[in-house]
Amino acid sequence: MFTGLVSAIGEVRRAENGHFDIASPYAAETIALGASICCDGCCLTATRVEADASGGSVFTVEASNETLSLTTLREWRAGRTINLERSLKIGDELGGHIVTGHVDGVAKIISVTPDGASRRFEIECPRELAKFVAAKGSVALDGTSLTVNTVEANRFTVNLIPHTLAVTNWGQKSAGGHLNMEVDLMARYAARLVERI
């Protein structure tokens, strides 16, 4: 489980046949083999960890064909920056919302416009996911817990404040980019209950 509060920005060092080496500021000794790390919204397992000369680490993750087909991982190349979050521990503050790291689909950035000191992103999601998106509700995009501002059909908007733009990879995003999208867990179960009535 995660909260959608990005704790570091990593960089893909190698991308080959579903295997990815990711450089991070996390100290190598703090990452156990088998640890779950949310990488741009995908819960992935660390299968190898080495210390980096910078004092951080390089860890390896592997993605199945299913994960590659449903996420942006198929687009990952060396040099790409990704949002990272360590798994939630009992007693940690839940500052975002409950995020599982199980991506539902890939969304697309339609436009990015200044909104005061913030930036407003218009996002288009797959039509089958639109029913889970509600104004003032939560959504996880590339592992970032965000509040939905407006919704129209399968498009919605989110605003990112300067702090979020600075401590995540959102400051580098532009129109046409793709995002890993995970709908709110409560919305998913509410929709399922309605279907059963």
Cα separation of 63 and 68, whole Å?
A: 6
Q: How far is CA 39 from the centre of its chain?
A: 6
Domain spanning 105-190: CATH 3.40.50.720: no
Express each pLDDT in 39-54 by its tens digit: 999 999 999 999 998 8
Residue 80 token pair: 């790409």
Topology agreement, domain 8-86 and domain 105-190: yes
pTM score: 0.93
Predicted pLDDT at 151? 97
User: 144-176 in b/e burial notation, b at 16+ Cβ within 10 A?
Assistant: bbbebeebeebbbbbebeeebbebbbbeebeee
Q: pLDDT (tens digit, 9 = 90+) per residue, 63-105?
A: 999 999 999 999 999 999 999 999 988 777 777 888 999 999 9
CATH architecture type of domain 8-86: Beta Barrel (2.40)
What are the residue boundaries of the structural domains of the chain, listed by start?
Answer: 8-86, 105-190
State whether residue 73 is helix, strand or coil. helix
Residue 162: what pLDDT?
A: 97
